[in-house]
Structure 1
Amino acid sequence: MVEVAAERGRQASSRVSEEGAGWRCRRIGTFKDLRPNKGSFSWFNPRTLWHSRNQVVAGLLGDPSGQVRRRWMASQQARGADPEFRIRPEVGESFSFLLLGDTGEGDASQYAVVPGLLKLGEETDFAVIASDVLYPAGSGNEYCDKFFRPYKDYDAPIYAVPGNHDWYDGLGGFMRVFCDAHPLKPAPDPGLRGLLWRRPETIDEGGLAEARKLRDRPSQRAVQPGPYWAIETPSLLIVGVDTGIDGSIDRDQAEWLRRTSRDPRPKLLVTGKPIYTRNAHKPSQLEGGGTIDDIIRDPANRYVAAIGGDVHHYQRYPVKVGDRVIQYLVSGGGGAFMHATHTTPRVDVAGVHEDEFRSYPLRGDSLSFYSQLYAQRLHMKWLYLTPAEASAIMAEQIGNTPVRAPQPVEITWRMRLAARLLGGVWNSRFRLPVETVFHRYLSELSDWDTPPFFKQFLHLAVTPDRLTIRCFAATGCLPQEVDPPLEDEVVIALS
């Protein structure tokens, strides 16, 4: 079924037509009937900002995630967790699974992913969430509508590695839901950080038990050993790491990662922070020295790909390392609002040529989306750039032919000024917020319930000889629910 869907998806993607991108959406998808009739969280709420304070506290006073993580892992081992934190699903040499990142806003953009995910995930053996299972602060009391309800009909286990937002709750909600762990006893943290640090919220166990009933079939049940783990299969070892708040990896986890990486099987890394993103190399630091990419690049460890969340869209960098190519991917479009792709300059990092790089949404679609957003909210119609205009502007900036068949467009001063203000011209000294600042503080200025959403998820198929990674889109439009667009595909040899 996936092969047939992929063939149809190639012809229906944003790389082929504006309709494939979800522009001029005439029929809204069925996802609207899945979403509970509740509003999503608001970053304008002072209570939300206060509950999310650990990001600021960690940046100013140091990130204690490594210390807390060691306590969680010691507690898990005392409860009898696998000493090497292995997960052993019942799969053969050939199997498939889903991967999606940055999921849990509980709003339309998260639920828009669900129909396509269920359709293409019917025969998959499990799923993995890479980073930020829950927004805004990882509370165990918010998992019902942001985890159990959206994936109630996915009939297989779901595993996860946490993101920074999951750590805003001290990882309490994540550990309770995914590891069946009980709260840690409070540990003294003298000084200002200990005073300000947000501790795990007390979980309503009755409410959590009711939420669990939404995913309580035997085929769905799963308990993972900790926030980092390795999924053992005959053909591939899938290694998940926990990057905490600031992206670093504590000494115990680094030692475990080195041991695990000596396994002779080919490996795929799943991480809360991507190693390559926005034309930059940003590997997680290992406590004691070195980076996670040092382990990935070591040919003896046989890593073939690394997938990270945290950034809310899709990117892929095929990086040549010696005589082989390692695929570095970002897959953070599983539910949270889209981060811009049009602010990514012409790609040249690590020798990757622009024509080898892949992203979703396309830069032109990203620029057009933000132009429409600001044109509406600021009541400045001249800011709006059509998809064709935005594509032409980005092609001029990048210096290549647009991916989609270009339409005749005469670039005007109005279009250049709009692109400059929206970040589509990189040397602009002034630009409107379109990335992290926008997402965190200004998202409430927009109606996030209107397609296209430019969401995505991955379908990964494994055989003894190869790993096939496909990126499917979710726009929120009915045609893309019926036939999810295939935005990217890469086949990796495992032999």
Structure 2
Amino acid sequence: MSETLTVDVKAIPGRGRAPQPAAPPGRKMVCWFDPGVLAKAGVKSLLSATIGKQADRRLLDAVASPQPYFFDFTLDDAGRPRDELWLDYVADLGDGWDSTYAVALAVTKSELSLKDPTGTTHVTQGGDVLVFGGDQVYPTASVDEYQARTVRPYEAAMFHGRQPPHLFAVPGNHDWYDGLVSFLRLFCQGRQSKAWRTHQRRSYFALKLPRGWWLLGTDMQLESDVDAAQVEFFENVAKKMGDGDRVILCNAEPAWIYQQVKPHAGREFLDNNITFLEEMVLGKKVSVFLAGDLHHYRRHENEEGRQKIVAGGGGAFLHPTHLPRVDSRPDGYVLQESFPTREVSQRLTWRNLGFLGHNPWFGVFTGILYALLGWGLAADLNGTGTSHSFISVLSGAIENTGSMLMAALLVMGMMAFADGRRGVWWKRVAGGLHGVAHLVAALLLTWAASALSGVLVGGGDSLRRDVCSGLLLFAGGFVVGPTLMGVYLLISLNVFGCHPNEAFSSLAIPDWKNFLRLKIDREGRLTLYPVGIRRVPRAWMAGDTVREPEWVADPKDGGATAPELIEKPIVVGRTKAPPTRVGKGRTEQSRARAFVPGDATS
């Protein structure tokens, strides 16, 4: 924790706040290549996957947690019909303070003026409804992590005097890492906070919006599966819809992209669950598909004007946008915009050459690994003299049983680490080459360490030479190991289109954040405002208790950029939906019961 700085509020005109710390007590971006973080997340993921397959929490909640078929937002909080509605969609948040809080500041503003790429200014309003689109916290779900990485930033950002929005949340895979326990406690028990008001009782929900619009949020668990109770729930929701009603469908993952770049053999049935909801349950009423999980902005559109949008920039590390095979879809969806652009994304990948600077604890891990690989061999070399040829060093490595065992484990580990999206051959070839590169580096460092130790401590004391060789091997592995990993990730992504998650999680880029602001107007048009922040602030100062949120960006941070529109607003009209094939009574909307937020009748 940084030292605190006492601020004399009397010396700051207009300030009405007690002394504050010099920086907000927020968490840093998750360092995904920290061995401790990797081990903890791996164990949590394994346990969650095992438990999730054996005991689906959603089935229990369907019985134990009654929930209305929909929450009615055609009326305002005073019970009057709404002429229009503003709504905000934020996905993949709860990582570092700077990125999550920067987005929260923009979301919670009562009014936000945004310039589009043409220079036109659009005045938008803070949403009465706030939807979290998946992965509300990183790296794993727990009460403490939710509080520090998600709740605290949004409470600090909420302006005094503004009514907290109605919050609905879609769980992502990281929310499932504790079996959804913390997610349900925070979002599904009617808990209120300074930042929001919650109403949902299950991990999926339906919102009835003005002018014939609906918003549905699904829970696909860890297996990308919609369970039977959830299907029945949405079938009942569909019966409340009119023939001309339109749907905004929110899923935690963009299946339309994953089916292209990460095909799963034998999982075609599960991968098509969005198609099942769209065609069989909702009768192709879906006009807009929203998803997170990929931490960037990407929009596809078809000839009918239907939208498929990834907007996972709520606070998590940036994901690349220059992946192959995602510019168009077989069903006619064509890429319209991405943020950042492909060219910027490719340039950012080069930051992996400085992998060690981003992941110093990974350097400690590779330093120990290289020492284990070469220390025994170095000791053998130290015992036979001070000068050796590379051939003799190689021969010694082959004859050293411990070194050969470690080498085999390293190569197999690199094969397991290799991206499998290009098939088994890629894992074997790319992983094998990656492993061999580390072995060659370790062998060269062992040769150099043995020779340098003789120079540094002399050739008489073998124990001192062995200790010196070990330290030199650790130092060399600390630098060389991460560098080789960075080069491997750079080539894998920019040349072969592999390891997009690893190549960018290693960088933990807090910038290029985004969220969606939606408006339903009097004529029934849906307008989507894609909001982007190119560079989030890195420095903060205490805000005024009356006019400002708890923390505001420090003007000295000149590199930060204001929120702006990624592209011109997208307008989706109320086109008539095709005839449905499932359910009856779809035209009986006038006789359907209206459910209000907080109604627990199902």
For normalisation by structure 2, the TM-score amounts to: 0.55
- Measured after TM superposition, the shift of residue 73 of structure 1 is 2.6
- 1:129 and 2:113 are equivalent in the alignment: no
- 1:140 and 2:143 are equivalent in the alignment: yes
- 1:492 and 2:492 are equivalent in the alignment: no
- Measured after TM superposition, the shift of residue 376 of structure 1 is 3.0
- Measured after TM superposition, the shift of residue 474 of structure 1 is 1.2
- 1:376 and 2:334 are equivalent in the alignment: no
| 2:502 counterpart residue number | 437
- The one-letter code matched in structure 2 to 1:147 is T
Residue in structure 2 matching 1:315, options 286, 298, 302: 298
Gaps of 5+ in 1: 1-31, 182-208, 380-416
The CA distance in 1 between the partners of 2:236 and 2:292, in whole Å, is: 24
- Measured after TM superposition, the shift of residue 66 of structure 1 is 7.0
- Measured after TM superposition, the shift of residue 456 of structure 1 is 0.5
CA gap of 1:156–1:39, structure 2 versus 1, over 3 A, is same
Gaps of 5+ in 2: 1-20, 77-81, 113-123, 159-163, 358-486, 538-557, 576-602
| 1:71 counterpart residue number | 60
Q: Secondary structure of the residue that 1:366 maps to in structure 2?
A: helix
Matches within 5 A, 1:23-42: 35-42=24-31
Residues 367 and 419, structure 1, Cα contact 8 Å, conserved in 2: no
- 1:472 and 2:481 are equivalent in the alignment: no
Residue in structure 1 matching 2:183, options 159, 174, 181: 174
- Measured after TM superposition, the shift of residue 375 of structure 1 is 3.2
| 1:406 counterpart residue number | none
- The one-letter code matched in structure 2 to 1:252 is A
| 2:97 counterpart residue number | 107
- 1:455 and 2:513 are equivalent in the alignment: yes
- Measured after TM superposition, the shift of residue 302 of structure 1 is 1.6
- Measured after TM superposition, the shift of residue 438 of structure 1 is 3.7
| 1:347 counterpart residue number | 327
Q: Secondary structure of the residue that 1:103 maps to in structure 2?
A: coil
Residue in structure 2 matching 1:233, options 209, 212, 215: 209
Matches within 5 A, 1:319-330: 319-320=302-303, 324-330=304-310
CA gap of 1:88–1:346, structure 2 versus 1, over 3 A, is closer
- 1:116 and 2:98 are equivalent in the alignment: no
Matches within 5 A, 1:258-337: 258-262=235-239, 263-264=241-242, 265-277=245-257, 280=260, 291-297=273-279, 300-320=283-303, 324-337=304-317
The CA distance in 2 between the partners of 1:279 and 1:48, in whole Å, is: 27
- Measured after TM superposition, the shift of residue 108 of structure 1 is 2.3
**1:247-274 deviation per Cα after TM superposition (whole angstroms, max 9, x unaligned):** 1111111222233234222111011111
Residues 532 and 563, structure 2, Cα contact 8 Å, conserved in 1: no
- Measured after TM superposition, the shift of residue 133 of structure 1 is 0.5
The CA distance in 1 between the partners of 2:58 and 2:263, in whole Å, is: 20
Aligned residues with identical type, % of pairs: 24
The CA distance in 1 between the partners of 2:531 and 2:105, in whole Å, is: 12
CA gap of 1:52–1:228, structure 2 versus 1, over 3 A, is farther
| 1:249 counterpart residue number | 226
**1:352-396 deviation per Cα after TM superposition (whole angstroms, max 9, x unaligned):** 475x4321111111111121x1233369xxxxxxxxxxxxxxxxx
Query: Which stretch of the first structure deviates more once superposed, 68-77 or 129-138?
Result: 68-77
The CA distance in 2 between the partners of 1:65 and 1:358, in whole Å, is: 41
Of Structure 1 and Structure 2, which has the larger fraction of its residues in helix?
2
CA gap of 1:272–1:340, structure 2 versus 1, over 3 A, is same
Query: Which stretch of the first structure deviates more once superposed, 290-299 or 130-139?
Result: 290-299
C-alpha RMSD over aligned residues: 3.6
| 2:7 counterpart residue number | none
Q: Secondary structure of the residue that 1:114 maps to in structure 2?
A: helix
For normalisation by structure 1, the TM-score amounts to: 0.66
- Measured after TM superposition, the shift of residue 316 of structure 1 is 1.3
- The one-letter code matched in structure 1 to 2:569 is E
Q: Secondary structure of the residue that 1:423 maps to in structure 2?
A: helix
The CA distance in 1 between the partners of 2:238 and 2:262, in whole Å, is: 20
CA gap of 1:462–1:93, structure 2 versus 1, over 3 A, is same
Q: Secondary structure of the residue that 2:308 maps to in structure 1?
A: strand
Matched residue count? 372
CA gap of 1:230–1:93, structure 2 versus 1, over 3 A, is farther
Residues 132 and 168, structure 2, Cα contact 8 Å, conserved in 1: yes
- Measured after TM superposition, the shift of residue 100 of structure 1 is 1.1
CA gap of 1:238–1:66, structure 2 versus 1, over 3 A, is farther
**1:133-192 deviation per Cα after TM superposition (whole angstroms, max 9, x unaligned):** 1111211222222222222244322211100000001111111111117xxxxxxxxxxx
Query: Considering only CA atoms, is the larger Rg found in Structure 1 or Structure 2?
Result: 2
| 2:389 counterpart residue number | none
The CA distance in 2 between the partners of 1:38 and 1:87, in whole Å, is: 36
- The one-letter code matched in structure 2 to 1:316 is R
Residues 97 and 124, structure 1, Cα contact 8 Å, conserved in 2: yes
Q: Secondary structure of the residue that 1:158 maps to in structure 2?
A: strand
- Measured after TM superposition, the shift of residue 39 of structure 1 is 3.6
